Each structure stands twice: as structure tokens, then as C-alpha cells.
Structure 1
Amino acid sequence: MSILNADLHCHSVVSDGTLQPEVLAARAAANGVELWALTDHDEIGGQHRAAAAAREHGMRYLTGTEISVTFAGETVHIVGLGFDPDDPQMKRGLEETRGGRGARAHEIAAGLAQVGIKDAYEGALKYVGNPELISRTHFARFLVETGVCKDTPEVFRRYLVEGKPGYVPHRWASLKHAVQWITDAGGMAVIAHPARYKFTANEEYALFSEFKAHGGRAVEVVTGSHTSAEYVKYAATAKEFGLAASRGSDFHSPDESHTDLGQLPYLPGDLTPVWELLADRIQ
């Protein structure tokens, strides 16, 4: 079952992607995806649309979201798969997590204005499908469009990371709460793209240990932001902690994403795919 073209991590206009859930589903199906999940940031508003579109294209579907948590001073992402998209506790928790984004966006715009970039909040809003989810990515698109930077990585480097004029930290959900919301709603929690976090070996060990202690069950091994060496590293980590493995492109946009939907290597055969543990939740 590890030889399955599953893409369990991507984003639509409901958060910070550029395509509608229906367009994403068509793209995934055209790329040979057999099992799909839409995992918008801190949002499950696109789930029913995505599931219906997956059915229309003959794909199997798992509900999904990507929850932002604060751990050891870093923002870490926890993907939830296979949960009830109408679960009231999860909806409430995600609503609270989204709540801080608006105030943070105004602070980002104020920081950019101080270095001569005017009207960044209004500019970023043009790219937002869901105003509750305005994020740094939307500011980055505005700065590229207006010629301030040539691409979004340059925007982040120059303006939106710690120590730069547009950086504003945000306090997200706790690791415990995120895992709890997913698990209590009948789903499974997955650590997203672990190689992206700037953790020491000790901090990373603490992340995996606490995640597992709270009921987390899987880790993304094959993902768009991992190198082939990192696939090997996190396959070993999955085995060390007794976690299942997930696979997802983290696709956001045809113009920005390095890895398209469904275009990843398969999971290593000696790992337990997360979808095997979620077989009864696949639609």
C-alpha cells in the first residue's frame, strides 16, 4: 500500500493557495493522484467542496487541515487527516487560532510602511480568498506584483522573517490542543515537513516525544520541501518513534510551488502509510 499516489498536503484559496478546491481536485486527478486531501491552514471551510470534487474526478478523499502551533519558540505545522469536518470543538479551536491573524496583518503593514512600502495591507487583501486567513504569503504576493522583490522567497528574506521590518510573531495553538482537536474529531495528527523547522537535535527530539505523548500518530516523510536525504532521515525518525508516514506536495500555486500535486517519490516500502491506519475514514 505504500505504492499509492497519495497527496495529503495542499492549499486552496480558502487559506493561502491560489486555486479553488474544485480546480485543485481536477489538477490532482490529472496528475494521477489516487488519494487526496485538501489541508488549508487553520481552516476546514473547503472540506465538503473538496470531497465532492474528489468524487467527481474518481479520487478517494481524506478530510484535512494544517494547524499552526507554537513549539519551542518556532511555528510548527500539524496536519490533521480523516477527522469529522463538522466537529464543533475543532471548528471552535480553529476559529480562535485564526482570530489573531487580522491584528498581526495590520502590524506587518505598519512595519512595511516604516521602510517606505505603503498600503501593504490593502495590497495583500487583494490576494486573500478568506480575510480571516490573511498571512505573510499574501503580503509576499503583493510585494512581487508591485516589483519590490522578484519572487516570494526574496520577500521573506528581506522583509518577513525575524529581525526584518515586516516580521510580527504570532502565538498559535499549543501542540497539545492541536493534536487533541484532530484526535477527538476522529482523525489522525501528522507532523508536517519536519526538516523545515530550525530546531536543535534536542528540540526536535522533544517535539516528536511530546507529539507522540499527546496522541500524534504520523509524520510527513516525503514532502515537497524535503530533499532525498531528508526522506531517509525522517523515514528513520518515523521508525524510531513508531509513527506512520505521510506524503504530500504542500502545493499552493502553479506559479510558486516547486512540486506539483502527485509528483513526489513514493513512500519507502518499509514504513506504515498513514492511510492504512485511516482506511475506515477514506471517502
Structure 2
Amino acid sequence: MLPVDLHAHSTISDGMLPPGEVVARAAGRGCRLFALTDHDDIRGLADAAAEAARQGMAFLPGVEVSVSWRRHTIHIVGLGIDPANPVLLAGLAGVRAGRDERAVRMAAELAKVGIPDMLEGARKFADNPEMIGRAHFARHLIERGIARDMKAVFKRFLAKGKPGYVAHEWASLADAVGWIKAAGGVAVIAHPGRYDFGRPTLNELIEEFKAAGGEAIEVVSGSHHPSDTERFARLAEVHGLMASVGTDYHATGEGAREPGVLADLPAGPLPVWTRWPHLQAIVASAAAHMDPASFPQTEPDQAC
């Protein structure tokens, strides 16, 4: 097992816990290296870093940028970023600016199928009003008894082609990677197993990502089935990418992964944390003392 989690969310985007509480929960499960990667916003990083210091846990500041690539929405994680970098801050502000308009359109689409008054209910779940998104609509639909759980909500209402789904133009791939690099970070393709396209298209995405300066891909993810791990490890090797890991934690009870601990990486690709030499010894020492029996494998979370 790996005491590393480099992809998790707080109330700054679409998580249910404040930044410090997410960090504390990860630390309580034995995590020794953690990154908070809220969608398109970095305002939780100071609180998360302070809590990580209190817990004696290594911390990488991060972000997850929403990207429009061809006809698809994908996510690019940035690790080890400078949260004060003006290029990154300006880029993220531009991405956030479109979220409220999309939320209004989502509420209108749901009203057309007989589900009125969704906008204010969704906003009630969004602690950060600039970051209202599908997860907040999903929680309100569950609250109203219209769907049983997150998986059912996305399947019936919020996935592509469903009544509440609204297409939106996010950042370009080149811009997202460029902002992360300008901030001194490493760009990572998030949860590749969630994207609705085949291996040839994924290869094309990776090549464009690398051409823009991208360096890593998530191999172990809370959004992947355990059987996917070897496949994405080999893909990382073939393309010369580093391997990252992350639970993609949003909320307890909404997915199958708690923050903080994941299955080990297969041999082959270089772990992304080797980019920061001072972190290698921390991870190696902690991993050597993990008890895998304490962290049984669970089914992947495909909801958010």
C-alpha cells in the first residue's frame, strides 16, 4: 500500500469537508504525502498546508483544471504549484467565470423535465459560490428524493446526453498545462479510465499533452478499477510519463474511496513524487510500514 494521495477535493470546489478536515482525515488513515487538488481554485491550499504541518505530513499544493479537448471534458491536475503565481491565478479565474452561467442552464434543463427550482437548492451545497457544479446539483436531487445516490443521479440526469447535462467550453489543454508549468508545477492527466474514448484517442491526448509540457498520468485512482492499474502503468511507460496516484476523494458515502491510502504502483513508471527528491525517503519509509490488510480494496467511484 502507498501512504500517498495526490488528488482530493474540499468545500472550495465540490467536496463536502473543509480543506483542513480533508487533510486530517487522510492523516488519520496513515497518509504521509498529500495534495489538495480542488477544481479550478487554490483558495483551500493555505488551510490544507497548515493542517498537514500540524499532522507532520508532507504536502504538495495542487489544483485540478477543467479542460475542453475536442468534444470531451477532461481534467488536468497540477502538483507542486506556486499558489501565488499570477499566470495560474488569472487562468483559473477565467475558468471559474463560466460556472455560474452553466449552473443556470443546468437548472433550466432540469425544469424542462419536471424538476423545477434546482438552482437555489444546488447553491445551498456550494460553500464556494464560484465553484457550483454537477456534484452540488446531484446532492440536491438526492436530498429531494429524486435519486437514490450519486451514481444514480449521474446516470439519470447529469452525464453526457442526460436531461441536466450542459456542455461547456473550459480551458484548452495547452493553456491548462501552460498555467501549471508557469507556476512551477507538474501537469498530470487525471483518472484516464473515466474518459469516454478508446485507446487510439487516449494516445492522441497523451501526445498533445506531452507536446504542451505535460509530464505525468494517474495510474492508481479512486476512479479506476484495480485491474486498470497495470494497464495505465504500461501506458505511462510507453509514453515516458511519470505515474501519479490519487483517491479523487469528494465525500464520505458518495464514493468508494476514503482519502489518504491507495494500492501500490506497479514496477516500471517513475513515481511523480520523485520529482521532489526530499519526498522520496518519506514515502519509502512510510510504505515499508503499511499493513495492506488494514486497507481492503473497494470498488471504484465513477460518479463525480
Q: Is the structural similarity TM-score above 0.5?
A: yes
Q: Provide TM-score, normalisation by structure 2.
A: 0.90
What residue in structure 2 maps to residue 242 of structure 1? 240
1:94 and 1:149 map into 2 onto residues whose CA distance is: 32
2:2 and 2:263 map into 1 onto residues whose CA distance is: 10
Among 104, 113, 116, the alignment partner of 2:114 is: 116
Once the two structures are TM-superposed, the CA of residue 155 in structure 1 deviates from its matched residue by: 1.3
Once the two structures are TM-superposed, the CA of residue 4 in structure 1 deviates from its matched residue by: 4.4
What residue in structure 1 maps to residue 96 of structure 2? 98
2:233 and 2:172 map into 1 onto residues whose CA distance is: 25
Contact 2:40 2:65 in 1 (8 A): yes
Q: Provide TM-score, normalisation by structure 1.
A: 0.96
Among 5, 8, 14, the alignment partner of 1:7 is: 5
**Unaligned 5+ residue runs, structure 2?**
281-304
Could you say if the C-alpha distance between residues 63 and 8 of structure 1 is closer, same or farther in structure 2, counting changes exceeding 3 Å? same
What residue in structure 2 maps to residue 197 of structure 1? 195
Q: How many residues align?
A: 281
Contact 2:4 2:261 in 1 (8 A): no
What residue in structure 2 maps to residue 267 of structure 1? 265
Could you say if the C-alpha distance between residues 280 and 73 of structure 1 is closer, same or farther in structure 2, counting changes exceeding 3 Å? farther
What residue in structure 2 maps to residue 49 of structure 1? 47
What residue in structure 2 maps to residue 63 of structure 1? 61
What residue in structure 1 maps to residue 297 of structure 2? none
Structure 1 window deviating more from structure 2 (226-235 vs 133-142): it is 226-235
Contact 1:82 1:281 in 2 (8 A): no
Query: Match of 1:136, as an amino acid?
Result: R
Once the two structures are TM-superposed, the CA of residue 281 in structure 1 deviates from its matched residue by: 8.7
1:261 and 1:180 map into 2 onto residues whose CA distance is: 28
What residue in structure 1 maps to residue 16 of structure 2? 18
Structure 1 window deviating more from structure 2 (259-268 vs 123-132): it is 259-268
Contact 2:2 2:263 in 1 (8 A): no
2:160 and 2:35 map into 1 onto residues whose CA distance is: 31
**Unaligned 5+ residue runs, structure 1?**
none
Once the two structures are TM-superposed, the CA of residue 161 in structure 1 deviates from its matched residue by: 2.1
Contact 2:78 2:185 in 1 (8 A): yes
Query: Match of 1:221, as an amino acid?
Result: V
1:177 and 1:78 map into 2 onto residues whose CA distance is: 11
The runs of at least 4 consecutive aligned structure 1 residues that moved more than 3 Å come to 279-282
Could you say if the C-alpha distance between residues 159 and 114 of structure 1 is closer, same or farther in structure 2, counting changes exceeding 3 Å? same
For each residue in 1:188-230, what CA deviation from the matched residue of structure 2 results, as whole angstroms up to 9, or x when unmatched? 0000000100112221111000111111010100010111221
SS at match of 2:43: coil
Once the two structures are TM-superposed, the CA of residue 271 in structure 1 deviates from its matched residue by: 2.3
SS at match of 2:227: helix
Contact 1:245 1:274 in 2 (8 A): yes
